[in-house]
Amino acid sequence: MKEIEQKVVEVLSQLVSPTAARSLLQRALRGQPPHLLGPRAWAELIEGPLQRELVGILPVSGLLPELGRLARELRAQDREASDSGKVARPTLELPDTTEYVDLSREEERQALVQSLARGEGVLAVVLESTYGRALRLGGFGPGLLEMLRAAHGLLERRGGYRVFYTVLGEVQMVLRPLGRGYLALLAQSGANLGQFLFRMRKIEAIRVGAERLGGLE
């Protein structure tokens, strides 16, 4: 069942570092040898102990999309094995959900921001790039842009970052670098930010033109 273990760590690594992902899984296993778990046991682990571990460290209120998909596939394989009377041998093929965005195209910048802004509980979305800006500020003023730019610059100067999450009063904020700029999302305190964290980590900027050659400053 090594393949299942690797797939779970891969999914978790979209939110936390690979080291933290392995640590989360080990805590959820609670001493159980992972190679002895069948598909059904893995599905129960994902939906139970692992989900509780995630809720303890991240603002999530439901299964992450790819973990939920993985659990459903494992349960389906277990049912098929039971029907056939054979030992289940998992063959896991999760689709690549990376979302590629050409930041040089205004319509793609706007489409990305609008898509995120439609999420439940989202208050504001800001995309800043060398090609231009796209935003939905909601009830926030220009001061939000100054704060986001300063936070991004500070995190970059401290050695770079993959994703930054914080709570500002009644507002949750996620900030991540994208291309040579950043993508930020602000949501209500009760919003399930886990789904947005996961999606934002899967967004990749397409490198075009001089940017491939390091020509943009």
Residue 124 token pair: 């504001």
Distance, C-alpha 88 to centroid of its chain:
30
Which residue ranges in the chain fall short of pLDDT 70? 1, 83-96, 208-217
pTM of the model: 0.63
CA distance linking residue 30 with residue 6, whole number of Å? 17
Task: Supply the Cα-derived Rg of the chain in whole angstroms.
Answer: 20
Per cent of the chain over pLDDT 90 is: 36
- For domain 99-213, the CATH architecture is 2-Layer Sandwich (3.30)
What are the beta bridge partners of residue 183? 127, 176
pLDDT at position 214: 47
pLDDT at position 21: 84
On whether the CB atoms of residues 179 and 129 are closer than 8 A, the answer is: yes
Per residue in 126-149, pLDDT (tens digit) is: 999 999 999 999 989 989 999 999
So where are the chain's domains?
A: 2-84, 99-213
CA distance linking residue 155 with residue 85, whole number of Å? 55
AA letter at 141? G
3-state secondary structure of 123: strand
Per residue in 72-109, pLDDT (tens digit) is: 999 898 888 776 655 555 555 555 678 899 999 999 99
